[in-house]
Structure 1
Amino acid sequence: MNRFEDTDADDLLPESEQRRTTEINRLLDQIRETADKLQRDAATRGDLKLLARSLKELRYAFKVFTPYRDMRKLTIFGSARTTPDHPTYIAAEKFAERMAQDGWLVITGAGSGIMEAGHRGAGRKNAMGLNIMLPFEQSANPIIHGDDKLVNMKYFFTRKLMFVKECDAVVCLPGGFGTLDEAFEVLTLVQTGKRDLFPIVLLDAPGGTYWKKLDDFIRASLHEDGMISPEDFALYRVTDRVEEAVAEIEQFYKVYHSMRYVRNKLVIRTQKTISGALLDAIRLEFHDILSEGDFEIRSALPQEDEPDLEALPRLVFTFNRRNLGRLRILLDCLNAESIEPASREFV
């Protein structure tokens, strides 16, 4: 097909599809331009190896996850050293089983311990794995080993990106340095708005105090010294009950569907239209998170270009992009179809 035929074919596409194609081509050109600049800058062999391997890993991970983009997925973090007879392993397995029964896919690191428990509970059909290649501990567990939904990765940073990018909830069970790193990185990304809001659950075995002790430290040292806001406690839930962890995640998506920014507007998509009474209450309670304007019920904005979501109602406003804890409380109000969650005390 010649150049003129290409142009004619593009002209036959819907306007939204033309915009999407133009943007994709622009981004691919940007990647090529960056590669050319690396050559011009005389980048070292080591730097090029790191970039090439990272891009290769992410491309393959995107390919594996693409068929499952329309399915809800949760990420489980926890120790690779927890034994199958430990209460924490049993809790992780039970939790994953419950979520898989409700149609969720379970992403873990594919190793042993809590990762294996998550996959065992979910079953091979609902399990996805992001394995890290280490000289110890991290061979893929027997549930996910050899599965098409397993990705082996060299770098922690590409692996962590996929864990957070692809999921709709994160559940952390007790673990070592790696688990704490993952838990705090997720909290940081959500608190700073670098990742859309989603449920974060810190889950202990029944009667366990691992996360309770950490929560006590956060309250005594971070909050009391003014390093976090009271509303930041709305960003996560500590529990030692599997049923409460399941309810926290499923309640989050009862009315709320998804969000995205369109220029300076935050678009919150909902699965039902917000009542006029609740909208009025939101305007009174949450005016502090606006940088300008007001809350509006809208249909899809033209710039969204997501036909599958076009029918969903929207709550649209100019968010100040600072008060993420307050924004999470707003979502709780939408899901409860009541302003009552805004009255909760978090400290």
Structure 2
Amino acid sequence: MSERNHRDVPQEKDFTGGMIHSASCSYVGTTGEKKLDDRIMEISQQMDRDGNFCLLAEMLTTAVRVSRSSVSQADFKLMNRALKEMRISSEVFYPYRHLKKVGIFGSARTKPEEVEYITTVKFAQRMKEEGFMTITGAGPGIMAAGNEGAGRDFSFGLNISLPFESSANPFISKDEKLIDYNYFFTRKLSFVKEADAAVALPGGFGTMDEIFEALTLIQTGKALIYPLVLLDAPGGKYWKFWNQFIEEHLMRLGLISESDFSLFKVTDDIEVAVKEIVDFYKNFHSYRYVGDKLVIRLQDAIDPKDFEKLKKDFADIVKTGEMLQCGPLKEEMNEVELAEMPRITFRHGRNDFGRLRQFIDAINKAKIATTLSNLEDKL
């Protein structure tokens, strides 16, 4: 697959960790009433269009049990609104699933004349030139700068209802890609789930929260690895001092691993930030888990000699068995748009995701194969 059209192939953002549900619907559970269970299953099968009737039945069963259990009205309303916000988010992002997106974080207090604001505008403009849409929190400051640089057509706004920020910034206000959230957790889920990269400019508690949440989710394997860039204005030291704290306290005390530093990049150069993101998708496309197997999808197969070197250099990330370069697994056959992509598969221990990020970087630097004849046909 050529580098020119790789962004036209959408990636399924799998937060289930590769779990494949049984076709028997055995996981659905029960309301406690056999007749009601049967009715729910019947309704789910009648309404299903994509083979997800088991999941629909489980969701309906859960809703019935919540309504009949010892759940307060406040909790019931919270669950209902959270699910509604997740549904709306998916509906808004779905038409743009073929386009890669970068999330931009930073202070709402930054003024348009400040160098950090200007840097954000320029960065968002550059990412638009590279084909990336921009996702911001829709507020003022750095968020407004991100939407301004990307332009309305290439922007999303994830607005949080706050008493001191009553409306979205003018660059995304009243746009169909503006989503209003009542809860931070549903909003942050959309940021992590929908973005293919994230960039943070200087900010306060909210920015720290978003950066550390992204790092935590990636480090623990709960979110897919993506480029995370901490961008200062030229000559700025905000993130350099942040990095110093990480080194002198977290790393020195053994609270993180050395490889965790591969999960983020600190820079004050816009072009370095852009390159960090674009190069991440140079040959690497995406990955998912099928059981305990990690399946990494590539734009192009890797030269056999370079692949052998990869296997040797990264033998430590293979839990058992052998690392193979192959075609899609049988469990992936429903992902038609990804079917032609070559794969790298191996059993992964699901730890040290900083090391896995280093593996992805090595994939992007490896030589491309001139023929597919060297791919393994069997796993």
What TM-score do you get using the length of structure 1 for normalisation? 0.90
CA–CA distance in 2 between the matches of 1:215 and 1:199? Answer: 16
Matching residue of 1:53: 81
Within the candidate set 260, 263, 277, 1:235 is matched to 263
TM-superposed deviation, 1:138: 4.7
1:76 aligned counterpart, secondary structure: strand
Counterpart mapping for 1:28-177 below 5 A: 28-177=56-205
Counterpart mapping for 1:1-347 below 5 A: 21-22=50-51, 24-304=52-332, 305-337=334-366
| Runs (5+) with no aligned partner, structure 2 | 1-44, 368-379
Check the 8 A contact 1:269/1:314 in 2, yes or no.
yes
CA–CA distance in 2 between the matches of 1:276 and 1:323? Answer: 26
TM-superposed deviation, 1:290: 1.1
**What CA deviation, in whole Å up to 9, does each residue of 1:99-139 have, x standing for no partner?**
01121110000011000000000011101110001111251
Check the 8 A contact 1:132/1:138 in 2, yes or no.
no
1:84 aligned counterpart, secondary structure: coil
TM-superposed deviation, 1:219: 0.5
CA–CA distance in 1 between the matches of 2:348 and 2:294? Answer: 6
TM-superposed deviation, 1:206: 0.5
Counterpart amino acid of residue 69 in structure 1: R
CA–CA distance in 2 between the matches of 1:233 and 1:285? Answer: 19
CA–CA distance in 2 between the matches of 1:55 and 1:149? Answer: 19
TM-superposed deviation, 1:302: 1.6
Counterpart amino acid of residue 333 in structure 1: A
CA–CA distance in 2 between the matches of 1:179 and 1:90? Answer: 18
CA–CA distance in 2 between the matches of 1:235 and 1:42? Answer: 42
Q: Alpha carbons of 1:42 and 1:104: their partners in 2 closer, same or farther (altered >3 Å)?
A: same
CA–CA distance in 2 between the matches of 1:138 and 1:128? Answer: 18
1:21 aligned counterpart, secondary structure: coil
Identity of aligned residues (%): 50
1:120 aligned counterpart, secondary structure: helix
Check the 8 A contact 1:112/1:138 in 2, yes or no.
no
Check the 8 A contact 1:108/1:130 in 2, yes or no.
yes
Q: Alpha carbons of 1:63 and 1:241: their partners in 2 closer, same or farther (altered >3 Å)?
A: same
CA–CA distance in 2 between the matches of 1:21 and 1:155? Answer: 29
Check the 8 A contact 1:80/1:137 in 2, yes or no.
no
Q: Which moved more, 1:284-293 or 1:236-245?
A: 284-293
The one of the two structures with greater contact order (alpha-carbon pairs below 8 A, sep at least 6) is: 2
CA–CA distance in 2 between the matches of 1:54 and 1:36? Answer: 16
TM-superposed deviation, 1:26: 1.1
Instruction: Please give the root-mean-square deviation of Cα atoms over the aligned residues, in Å.
Output: 1.5
| Runs (5+) with no aligned partner, structure 1 | 1-9, 11-17, 339-347
Counterpart amino acid of residue 252 in structure 2: E
Aligned length: 321
CA–CA distance in 1 between the matches of 2:86 and 2:312? Answer: 44
Counterpart amino acid of residue 120 in structure 2: A
CA–CA distance in 1 between the matches of 2:53 and 2:254? Answer: 46
CA–CA distance in 2 between the matches of 1:239 and 1:98? Answer: 16
CA–CA distance in 1 between the matches of 2:58 and 2:131? Answer: 38
Counterpart amino acid of residue 340 in structure 2: A
The list of structure 1 runs, each at least 4 consecutive aligned residues, that deviate by more than 6 angstroms after superposition, is none
**What CA deviation, in whole Å up to 9, does each residue of 1:132-176 have, x standing for no partner?**
011112510111011101001111010000001001001011001
What TM-score do you get using the length of structure 2 for normalisation? 0.83
TM-superposed deviation, 1:277: 1.0
Higher helix share: 1
